């Protein structure tokens, strides 16, 4: 499952949402308490009589005692909001059952039984978007993590693997397409205009991978021939009006299937592969076996409505969900503590896939930027947790950047230490050993040790310890020897005050100042708290390039002369390290300016060094524009705040914008020339044209800081001339931060141009919510009342409010009004879609790292949320942890 999006749902009026009593505190579930389920369920047959307002579900479970589990004379079948309409054991109706906290308890005395249970659900009333729900006249499901229990009574846990037979029947006019997991084995007509279809999935799977879709859909169809010569039917199912925007999704799927065969040796194992695009979805996409369900955002694209970033995201997420067929489906996780087993590994796989197609350097920089902006703050805040947690109360709160992105980085470190060939041997062994099983993170580590020849004894600490390690690097030069001293420290996190050192693989090189070259890259693994390494043969002090390629997810702390950073920004042959030097140069200046402050001399020297480095980037003809764009990006305000013990968001914003303004003044001619050159490149999806569009808008954003009036005119010209969404959105982004007539005119034009196109209108909401305009808060309030805003649609809520929460200058308004807006949203949204509401808590939870006045306001909003009656388990847990 991909978590890049995070929706909301049905009702504009929260009082009309599902009424819920005050929830009980959920039990604390501990990893150490795991026990195999007492019963196996080798087969389940499901029969659906489909309707939007009422769907009847008949489930027939074949159960047998589990020799690995404790003996039990009852079976607990999980349920959430279900009532059994009938229950039979071995063909005999029974009322000898009890209910416990929503679960159905049945007495079972023998060693094998058949259980038949009939239930009913109302998909249209399901505002949580978990289980079976209605979306714009269509029925669909989302079962990860614990949604299947909202459909049928079942041992809803990932280590209970079953083969599924599914029969669906419903009105053909309303549901002409009937889809489920596996292969379609039969279909036919029923009476009164109804029809049916039967599906069989031959591969045992946990209930969280069950999927069903019924609706009025059309497909872009194709086929793929596997490496063994089997033909697989491919379909991307959408509403008819969206069919022209599915070509990129289909091509991405075929590329992913071919790449997985070539890179990991994994072949697809069913006769067909279906993707369905859904407008209401709690996540980015879901890897249900053979029937992937996607948020429309990650399927639909054409140049008029999708940016270059949208194209990349679609390709990456299509790949992510397809790769789960092996890393998550064929080998699944034993329990939810092992979530990173499938998600961290699959994120790494989708990152490697994208970098092979898009270019390794730029993709790596983008991935690290996401890690630092989302996961690093998580690791340093009250919600910090290991990638394999020891306990949880609500599993939906652990679908986090730590599990996904940091989990990927930990497996990437194994690949760095082993090398690509040995890493492939380790993954081959893992798949061979555990195919058809529910495995653990330890199983993966052991396969890597045995297959790749690694000693990962100490490395296991990465799975059990939270927090981002800090590594200090000190380079000294005496005579002919350069000596590097490395020290590591893992900060305390909630529940883990003291940490042990962890193995940290660091790629490094030492550059000669005169030649601009180095003698070769080395891989150093820092295992202790401190180590010293001597390098002979340096008559002059070398320049250190460290953590090249971001070989470890750590924070490097070092005192580097400004001239050395300028040197690396101009000469480092590792693209990531070059970008890192540029970032380090800017971060050091802005943190000093926003912290203790800089005198005029220090400020001038810092600005001059940054201008010198940026000028070199703008003038370097050897750079392609995709990489030039990465080097032009200033570090984000959230990341800057993370570099400070206590941050003042207002000062950070002023200093960052002030630096942009100064750079625009110093380099204005170069920036205007770059914009003009890039504007002359015709639209295409090749790398050069994409890079040109990237630097065009970056140059415009600098110019807007230096001369708003001139930039407004230039942005309006870019908007009017645009023949693609990337240029149009980039221009409108700049205009949204300016107070000009051009801003108003183009916002009106954008809305009229795309009215009725949900994904484009989402962009319209987001651009205003994340803008630098001084009235951004008032704009968000007005947009909440807009006719096109609704709490019914997940993407729309996120488009407005997640964009606003990620806008530091507005969210951190000194009055605290930004905090109130998010707290009010959480309270409105929680009764409707608790999973989404809980995800808005994290920005408020960072109050400990913010200056005292704002921190008190943030904490007060958390306390107001905590005092609300009827708060969901999801939100209550996040607020409680945030308050400490």
User: Rounded to a whole number, what is the largest CA-CA distance in the chain?
Assistant: 93
* Helix %, strand %, coil % of the chain (to 5): 45, 20, 35
> Judging by beta carbons within 10 Å of its beta carbon (0-12, 13-18, 19+), is residue 459 exposed, middle or buried?
buried
Provide the strand spans (E) within 550-670: 555-557
Kindly give, in sequence order, each residue whose CB lies less than 8 Å from that of residue 791, ignoring residues fewer than 6 positions away.
Answer: 8, 9, 10, 11, 12, 14, 797, 828, 829, 832
Classified as helix, coil or strand, 430 is helix
Residue identified by tokens 């991307």 is 236
Q: List alpha helices for 623-707, DSSP H.
A: 625-632, 637-642, 649-679, 687-706
Stated length of the chain: 884
- How far apart, in whole angstroms, are the C-alpha atoms of residue 654 and residue 85? 63
Concatenate the DSSP letters of all residues of 121-142 into one string: E-GGG-TT--EEEEETTEEEEE
Selected catalytic residue, list 144, 169, 315, 321: 321
832-857 burial, b at 16+ Cβ within 10 Å, e below that, comes to bbbbbbbbbbbbbbbbebbeeebeeb
Q: Any catalytic annotation for residue 321?
A: yes
Tokens of 416: 């760095």
The 8-class DSSP code of residue 402 comes to I
Tokens of 158: 């990932």
- How far apart, in whole angstroms, are the C-alpha atoms of residue 11 and residue 59? 31
Q: Residues 48, 80: contact at Cβ < 8 Å?
A: no
Q: Identify which of 311, 296, 356, 313 has the alpha carbon closest to the alpha carbon of residue 685.
A: 311
Tokens of 758: 């949900």
Classified as helix, coil or strand, 511 is strand
The 8-class DSSP code of residue 390 comes to S
CB-CB neighbours of 86 under 10 Å: 12
CA distances (Å), origin 540, targets 121, 143, 397, 535: 75, 62, 53, 12
Which residues are the active-site residues? 321
């Amino acid at each position: 499952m991909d978590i890049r999006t995070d929706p909301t749902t049905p009702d504009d009026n929260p009082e009309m949402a599902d009424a819920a009593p005050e929830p009980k505190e959920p039990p604390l579930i501990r990893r150490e308490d795991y026990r195999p389920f007492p019963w196996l369920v080798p087969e389940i047959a499901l029969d659906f009589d489909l309707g939007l307002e009422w769907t009847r579900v008949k489930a027939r479970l074949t159960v047998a005692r589990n020799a690995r589990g404790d003996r039990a004379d009852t079976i607990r079948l999980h349920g959430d909001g279900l009532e059994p309409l009938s229950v039979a054991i071995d063909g005999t109706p029974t009322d000898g059952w009890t209910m416990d906290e929503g679960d159905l308890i049945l007495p079972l005395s023998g060693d094998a039984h058949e259980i038949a249970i009939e239930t009913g659900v109302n998909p249209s009333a399901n505002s949580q978007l978990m289980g079976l729900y209605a979306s714009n006249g269509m029925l669909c499901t989302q079962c990860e993590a614990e949604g299947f229990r909202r459909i049928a009574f079942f041992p809803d846990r990932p280590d209970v693997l079953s083969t599924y037979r599914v029969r669906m029947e419903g009105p053909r006019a309303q549901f002409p397409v009937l889809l489920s997991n596996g292969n379609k084995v039969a279909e036919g007509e029923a009476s009164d205009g109804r029809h049916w279809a039967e599906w069989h999935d031959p591969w045992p799977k946990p209930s969280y991978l069950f999927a069903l879709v019924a609706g009025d859909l059309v497909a872009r169809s194709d086929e793929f021939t596997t490496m063994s010569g089997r033909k697989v039917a491919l379909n991307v199912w959408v509403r008819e009006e969206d069919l022209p925007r599915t070509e990129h999704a289909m091509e991405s799927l075929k590329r992913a299937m071919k790449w997985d065969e070539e890179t990991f040796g994994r072949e697809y194992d069913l006769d067909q592969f279906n993707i369905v695009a859904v407008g209401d979805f709690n996540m980015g996409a879901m890897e249900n076996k053979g029937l992937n369900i996607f948020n429309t955002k990650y399927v639909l694209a054409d140049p008029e409505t999708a940016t270059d970033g949208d194209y990349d995201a679609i390709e990456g997420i299509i790949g992510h969900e397809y790769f789960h067929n092996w890393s998550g489906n064929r080998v699944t996780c034993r329990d939810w503590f092992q979530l990173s087993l499938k998600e961290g590994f699959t994120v790494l796989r989708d990152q490697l896939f994208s970098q092979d197609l898009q270019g390794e350097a730029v993709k790596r920089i983008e991935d690290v930027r996401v890690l630092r902006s989302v996961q690093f703050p998580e690791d340093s805040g009250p919600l910090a947790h290991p990638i394999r947690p020891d306990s949880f109360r609500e599993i939906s709160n652990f679908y986090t950047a730590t599990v996904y992105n940091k989990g990927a980085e930990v497996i990437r470190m194994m690949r760095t230490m082993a090398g690509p060939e040995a890493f492939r041997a380790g993954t081959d062994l893992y798949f061979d050993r555990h195919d058809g099983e529910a495995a653990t993170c330890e199983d993966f580590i052991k396969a890597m040790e045995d297959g790749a020849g690694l000693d990962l004894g100490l490395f296991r600490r990465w799975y059990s310890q939270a927090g981002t390690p800090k590594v200090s690097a000190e380079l000294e030069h005496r005579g002919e020897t350069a000596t590097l001293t490395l020290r590591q420290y893992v900060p305390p996190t909630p529940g883990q005050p003291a940490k042990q050192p962890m193995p940290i693989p660091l790629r490094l090189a030492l550059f000669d100042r005169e030649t601009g070259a180095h003698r070769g890259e080395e891989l150093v693994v820092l295992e202790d708290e401190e180590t010293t390494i001597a390098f002979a043969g340096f008559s002059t002090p070398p320049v250190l390039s460290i953590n090249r390629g971001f070989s470890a997810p750590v924070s490097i702390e070092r005192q580097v002369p400004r001239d050395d950073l300028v040197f690396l920004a101009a000469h480092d042959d590792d693209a990531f390290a070059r970008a890192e030097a540029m970032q380090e140069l800017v971060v050091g200046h802005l943190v000093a300016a926003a912290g203790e402050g800089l005198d005029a001399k220090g400020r001038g020297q810092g600005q001059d060094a940054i201008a010198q480095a940026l000028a070199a980037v703008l003038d370097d003809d050897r750079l392609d524009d995709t990489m030039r764009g990465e080097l032009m990006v200033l570090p984000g305000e959230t990341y800057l705040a993370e570099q400070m013990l206590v941050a003042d968001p207002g000062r950070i914003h002023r200093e960052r914008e002030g630096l942009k303004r100064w750079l625009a003044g110093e380099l204005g001619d170069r920036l205007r020339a770059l914009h003009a050159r890039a504007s002359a490149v015709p639209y295409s999806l090749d790398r050069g044209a994409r890079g040109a569009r990237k630097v065009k808008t970056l140059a415009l954003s600098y110019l807007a800081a230096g001369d708003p009036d001139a930039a407004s005119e230039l942005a309006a010209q870019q908007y009017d001339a645009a023949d693609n969404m990337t240029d149009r959105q980039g221009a409108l982004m700049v205009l949204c931060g300016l107070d000009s007539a051009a801003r108003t005119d183009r916002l009106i034009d954008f809305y009229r141009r795309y009215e009725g196109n949900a994904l484009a209108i989402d962009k319209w909401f987001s651009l205003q919510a994340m803008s630098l305009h001084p009235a951004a808060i008032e704009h968000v309030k007005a947009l909440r009342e807009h006719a096109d805003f609704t709490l019914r649609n997940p993407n729309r809520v996120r488009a407005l409010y997640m964009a606003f929460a990620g806008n530091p200058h507005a969210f951190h308004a000194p009055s605290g009004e930004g905090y109130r807006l998010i707290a009010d949203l959480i309270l409105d949204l929680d009764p409707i879609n608790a999973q989404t509401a809980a995800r808005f808590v994290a920005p408020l939870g960072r109050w400990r790292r913010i200056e005292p006045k704002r921190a008190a306001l943030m904490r007060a909003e958390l306390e107001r949320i905590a005092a609300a009656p009827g708060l969901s388990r999801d939100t209550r847990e996040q607020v409680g942890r945030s308050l400490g």
